[in-house]
Structure 1
Amino acid sequence: MKQDVVVTGVGVIAPNGIGAQAYWDATLDGVSAIGPIQRFDAPHYPVRLAAEIPVFEAESALQKKLLPQTDRLTRLALICSDLAMADAKVDPAALADFEAGVAVSSSTGGLEFGQRQMQLQWGTGWESVSPYMSFAWYYAVHTGQISIRNGMRGPSGVVVSEQAGGLDTLAFARRLIRKGTSIMCTGGFDSMLCPYGVATAATAAGMSRSHDPERAYLPFRAESTGFVPGEGGAILVIESRTSAAERGVPVVYGVLAGHGSAFDPDPAGAGDGLVRAARAALADAGMSPRDIDVVFADAGGSGPLDRAEADAIERLFGERAVPVSAPKALVGRLMSGGAVLDVVAALLSLRDGVIPAVAGAEEDTVDPRVDLVVGEPRRQRLDSALVLARGHGGFASAMVLTKP
């Protein structure tokens, strides 16, 4: 019999909130972080809107020796892991060797660090390039730095499948727990918000080029102009239910009950990849579609992607109107960090019995096949949630969460 794997700690660093509760309050209040790019001079770029993480006090408390060897995003991931472990009452120094592992998904790694070193390469010569360039740009850098800083030498790794990567990495970490690792620090963190990253993202199909923050990212609505990039993510502490009980953990947020993944060469087609991933996740959880109380959508924001996801939801649930939420409409698409942030929103929805609304949406403008929660948050009994995610290139992933 498979043992339950539960979430005992949550850390969030999102554009609209630092810390899980701050993010949750902002999400329920409909606080959007989408606005003109401030990080660099962006008026001449085709993509001018993003959801950025403002500088906050905890960044200045990091060890100074970390600054020259890390990208800002990696430093944020380190702070986020601290939040998660403190929430779970985990003291890394008290853990036995190889007892805890790390798996934090990222598609970009330290992208801005890499850009700056390339500028030095071509500006002043190779002698100016930092030796830390050998790893600071790498997609595994968040996992590595969290592991080194906390002495967490257990099984670790990275799964790279863009937006789907956050869920795939949680599933990878869950497998390690079931194989005997005591604790996993896992999640997703990403950002493309630097000149090189935005120039690359601007070529992506479905990226919004709107200049109006209130009209740029409108999932499941005909007038949507595409999606807006964001940055950040979430990190969770997961362990077996038995381990949590033995440690006397005061809070268990929920159970990672099921996961499924698929590949769909045409993600804007009939949503086949999402359907197969969701059905696999439900089978893994020993549940059926009628057991799901709320769906946290991938919410691509472009017409073809949203229609495909609406098709998938309709195929999964038939005529049953399952509430659908898309909190990423407030923070943009965070790639690997986005799906894990949706997992956090789903866990807090289960905890509080409330589904976040998509701010600014009007019911008569939403695809009629989707019971998108609009206007005000919806309160109801919630025992289970389905989180959906698609990654650029055809990746599809789904995760079922249940109350503890």
Structure 2
Amino acid sequence: MTGPGGVSARAVVTGIGVVAPSGIGVDAHWRTVRDGIRRTGPITLFDPGSYPTRVAGEVADFDAAAYADNRQLVQTDRWTHLGFAATRLALADAGLPERAPDPYGWAVTLASSSGGNLFGQRELQRLWGGSTRTVGAYQSIAWFYAASVGQLSIHHQFKGPCGVLVAETAGGLDSLAHAVRTVRRGTPVVIAGATECPLSPYALACQLRSGLLSDVADPEAAYRPFDRSAGGYVPAEGGAVFVVEERGHALARGARIYGEVSGWAATHDAAHTGPDPAGDPGQYARAMRLALDRAGVTADEVDVVLPDALGVPRYDRGEAEALRAVFGDRPPPVTTQKPLTGRAHQGGSALDVATALLAFRHDELPASAGPREPAPGCELDFLRTPRQPRNRVALVGARGFDGFNSALVLRGAPPAPRESGE
């Protein structure tokens, strides 16, 4: 889709649906971010007593039945239930109907990573430990990494070009980049983003195999990216889903616009990582440079960076090195809220996008949830107090395991008018 003079269509975000440890809905998420409230705690979705990692970020008080009917719920995993909820919230936030009035003009492109863990765990336990030695018929689809996209496409009648991006945490940004491309090719409404639920015995065992998880039992100290005491990440569920819309389509219906996805890039380390999987920060830096170039943004125009913030010392140093390679010795302010919520893989980078867009909406860049004492090599300009954005430009970075790197540039719309007495 092109505008006058062959100019590419512009893709804007008109709806945000958050279902995360930070809360359900954009208001709850923003309160958590603004006030710096830690939402991680002991794992309750199963008994983690025999595991070294026992802290996670869970979505509290989540009632899946409020967002999908029983027929859908029995066919799907909690990860998809979170996707049902986030999508409904995003559509409502955008002022769009539950069912696409023009099915072939609407599409859904989400990121996925580990699939339906809790559902698969239950069925495999039935297979190997139950008296029937069988699995249910829905095992064949509920665990599948594309299950959420398929279910949402059916339920909401999204029949345009649909797809799934798989690049671990980087996938949450890749989904938005793909949504922009889909808009530019003529589909006016695309659902993008990601949710995750990596909290089951099997899923936790898989993550522990990487050696990157924190084994600290105190939620206050378990996840401290860029800090001298950093010792791994805390897993989390949830994420965010967005309505990405062609700007003219959004304006024609009088939609509120959060901001524009104006630049993006993805690179890969393209090397065997061996015993140290931290990868090459040069390729991560290249992704950020490409995203800025494609957005037409100079380094000094960036108000804030929301980093990957893995919380593993060698990764954190590599990320800080990449930022200095892009921005020089004085990178822009950096803020991360992942210590408050845990790391939700592809859902976590989508949540960072939601945070950036809401920061512009509220005209306030939130303070970073750490580090208390930056580790050597990680001395960045972490936001210690909230700040007003200058240029309304954010750079969001994400690194997926096995060498995936992605970066996204967001331009925020003007802030919402302040309520009297606010």
SS in structure 1 of the partner of residue 103 of structure 2? coil
CA distance in 2, matches of 1:67, 1:287: 44
CA distance in 1, matches of 2:48, 2:162: 37
1:388 matched to which residue of 2?
397
- What are the ranges of 5 or more consecutive residues in structure 1 without an aligned counterpart? none
1:362 to 354, 363, 372: 372
CA distance in 1, matches of 2:265, 2:258: 21
Q: How many residues align?
A: 402
SS in structure 1 of the partner of residue 394 of structure 2? strand
CA distance in 1, matches of 2:371, 2:318: 20
SS in structure 2 of the partner of residue 98 of structure 1? helix
Q: How much does 1:272 deviate?
A: 1.1
Q: How much does 1:269 deviate?
A: 5.0
1:119 equivalent to 2:129? Answer no
- What are the ranges of 5 or more consecutive residues in structure 2 without an aligned counterpart? 1-6, 414-422
Q: Do 1:104 and 1:186's aligned partners in 2 also have CA atoms closer than 8 Å?
A: yes
* CA gap 1:220/1:181 in 2 versus in 1, 3 angstroms: same
CA distance in 2, matches of 1:368, 1:109: 33
2:180 matched to which residue of 1?
174
CA distance in 1, matches of 2:11, 2:379: 33
Counterparts of residues 119-198 of structure 1 (less than 5 Å): 119-124=125-130, 128-198=134-204
SS in structure 1 of the partner of residue 165 of structure 2? coil
2:261 matched to which residue of 1?
256
1:52 matched to which residue of 2?
58
CA distance in 1, matches of 2:258, 2:159: 25
1:74 equivalent to 2:62? Answer no
Q: How much does 1:32 deviate?
A: 1.1
2:300 matched to which residue of 1?
290
Counterparts of residues 220-369 of structure 1 (less than 5 Å): 220-249=226-255, 251-264=256-269, 265=271, 266=273, 268=278, 271-359=281-369, 361-362=371-372, 369=379
Q: Do 1:33 and 1:330's aligned partners in 2 also have CA atoms closer than 8 Å?
A: yes
1:398 equivalent to 2:407? Answer yes
* CA gap 1:394/1:125 in 2 versus in 1, 3 angstroms: farther
CA distance in 1, matches of 2:251, 2:202: 47
Q: Do 1:294 and 1:382's aligned partners in 2 also have CA atoms closer than 8 Å?
A: no
CA distance in 2, matches of 1:164, 1:368: 21
Moved more, 43-52 or 346-355: 346-355
1:215 equivalent to 2:221? Answer yes
Q: How much does 1:165 deviate?
A: 0.4
**What TM-score do the two structures reach when normalised by structure 2?**
0.91
1:10 matched to which residue of 2?
16
Q: Deviations over 1:88-112 (max 9, x none)?
A: 1111435213110011111022111
2:420 matched to which residue of 1?
none
Moved more, 347-356 or 359-368: 359-368
2:95 matched to which residue of 1?
89
Q: How much does 1:378 deviate?
A: 3.1
Amino acid at match of 2:390: R
CA distance in 2, matches of 1:366, 1:358: 18
* CA gap 1:42/1:127 in 2 versus in 1, 3 angstroms: closer
Q: Deviations over 1:348-378 (max 9, x none)?
A: 112222222233643666856311123x433
* CA gap 1:303/1:3 in 2 versus in 1, 3 angstroms: same
CA distance in 2, matches of 1:321, 1:387: 14
**What TM-score do the two structures reach when normalised by structure 1?**
0.95
Moved more, 115-124 or 52-61: 52-61
CA distance in 2, matches of 1:346, 1:389: 14
CA distance in 2, matches of 1:55, 1:217: 23
